[in-house]
Structure 1
Amino acid sequence: MKVDVYKRPDGEGLFSYLVLPHEKPLPEEVTNTDWQLHERDVDFERDGKRHFTLEAEDAFMQIGEKGYAITHLDQRSGDGAA
């Protein structure tokens, strides 16, 4: 699946990621935060690996349920470079 990846700082040096199917607009419920485009047109696969701090199967489940996937609080990245 091709996706666009957004990143935002969460404070204390932590970052969250939001993944949307490629070229879909940010959903209304997340537009009031400071998401910045991190990467566009990325291959996001069901390969059992982590992608941008997101577990692949969890991300696909989130995308199926609400149209996007977002990092869980306990999965945020501390270096900002996932």
Structure 2
Amino acid sequence: MRVDIYRRAEAQGRYSHLVVPEGRAIPEEATNTDWENEQRGQELDETAAQWPQLGIEEPGRQLRDKGYAITSLDRQTDD
């Protein structure tokens, strides 16, 4: 699946990531002016159990249920 990836700076130099299907806007409930565009049109396997490089668990379920996938608080990345 081709996706657009955004990131947001968190405390202690860590980051959260938000992923939406390519070309779609960030859903209203996740809209935050702190999200920065990181990558557009990135190919990622939504059937994977996780996207560890983004700190995202169950990306396929999140995309189906919410329309986006987001880093869990305990999986924030260093960069």
With normalisation by structure 1, the TM-score equals 0.83
Structure 2 residue 66 is matched with structure 1 residue 66: yes
Q: Report the counterpart of residue 24 of structure 1 in structure 2.
A: 24
Q: Runs in 1 of length 4+ with deviation above 6 angstroms?
A: none
Quote the Cα distance in structure 2 between the aligned partners of 1:64 and 1:72: 17
SS at match of 2:63: helix
SS at match of 1:61: helix
Q: Report the counterpart of residue 41 of structure 1 in structure 2.
A: 41
Choose between structure 1 and 2: higher helix proportion: 2
Q: Among the aligned pairs, what percent are the same residue?
A: 38
Quote the Cα distance in structure 1 between the aligned partners of 2:6 and 2:61: 18
Q: How many residues align?
A: 77
Counterpart of 1:19, as a letter, is V
Q: Report the counterpart of residue 3 of structure 1 in structure 2.
A: 3
Structure 2 residue 61 is matched with structure 1 residue 54: no
Unpaired stretches in structure 1, ≥5 consecutive residues: none
Q: Report the counterpart of residue 76 of structure 1 in structure 2.
A: 76
Unpaired stretches in structure 2, ≥5 consecutive residues: none
CA RMSD of aligned residues (A): 1.5
